[in-house]
Structure 1
């Protein structure tokens, strides 16, 4: 097992290298390439990855605590049973990534591309999904309580059994969604009625 602490890397190509079972603490990677890199069971703590390329990387069973992955590309990466705790993922692209069994605890996933992902039955409470693309994503029976979904894209998302109580849904096109079986609160009911042009008396 290796350990990097307080290291800084810029435009370094780590592609196809074996970085399994290591620990990174408070390191910064800017515009680095990790294409096809083996990161299984890696542990990152307070690290920053900025504009990095993780295409095809293997991050199975990796754990990330209060790290930031900003504007990173995870296309076709394997994140099976990976765990992200309090991480900032803004602007990152997860197109075609394997995310089955992933664990997300709090954190900021705003402006990310999570289109067509499988997040059914996930505990997503309190996560910030501001303007996140969740189009076609499976959120069946997901716990979305207190999540911030302001202007998130949810077209064609599977929402049966999802719990949105306390979630912020401002700017979401509610009338275009299939909300059958989803749990909503009174605030959402008013928003939904107004989206259809109803005048609601909230007295």
Structure 2
């Protein structure tokens, strides 16, 4: 167990290191490399990771509270059962990451690549997914109330049983979505009808 607070690192190579069970508070990491590092059950709070590389890192069981991961790479990382609470994840790429059991609580996930992620039955209320790529995601029975889904890519997404009430759906190709058993509000119903060519008075 180790603790670091108010530390700053730039272009530091942490790849392959054993960083398990640590606590990082108010630390800043710029362009650092964590490739293939062991970061299981690490806890971060109010940290900033800017353009860092987490490819292949083991981050299962990690907990992140009000931290920022901006333009970071998570390809091949193991995020099983990790939790991100009120985090800023803008521009980060999760292509090929193991994200089963991940928990997303609030936060800003704008411009992220979350293709193929399984987020079924998740409570995703209020998350900002502005222009994120959710293509082929499993959102079955997910709670997406009050999410910002503006211009999100949702091709071949699974939405059955999801709750979209209050979510912003501007700029989405609604015609391509399957709304089977999806809960929507009146404004969204009008938006969907218009996307299908109906004239709503």
Q: TM-score, normalised by structure 2?
A: 0.99
The CA distance in 2 between the partners of 1:181 and 1:93, in whole Å, is 30
The CA distance in 2 between the partners of 1:19 and 1:117, in whole Å, is 26
The CA distance in 1 between the partners of 2:135 and 2:173, in whole Å, is 12
- Give SS of 2:191's match: helix
Match of 1:146 in 2: 146
The CA distance in 1 between the partners of 2:144 and 2:176, in whole Å, is 19
The CA distance in 2 between the partners of 1:174 and 1:5, in whole Å, is 46
Aligned residues: 201
- Give how far 1:198 is off: 2.0
The CA distance in 2 between the partners of 1:89 and 1:122, in whole Å, is 18
Q: Gaps (5+ residues) in structure 1?
A: none
Match of 1:137 in 2: 137
- Give how far 1:183 is off: 1.0
Match status 1:155 vs 2:155? yes
Q: Deviations over 1:28-62 (max 9, x none)?
A: 00000000011101000000000000000011110
- Give how far 1:71 is off: 0.2
Match of 1:12 in 2: 12
Match of 1:51 in 2: 51
Q: Deviations over 1:107-138 (max 9, x none)?
A: 00000000011111111000000011000000
- 1:34-113 to 2 correspondences below 5 Å: 34-113=34-113
Q: Gaps (5+ residues) in structure 2?
A: none
- Give SS of 2:44's match: strand
The CA distance in 1 between the partners of 2:154 and 2:196, in whole Å, is 17
Q: Which moved more, 1:37-46 or 1:176-185?
A: 176-185
Q: Which runs of 4+ in 1 moved over 6 A?
A: none
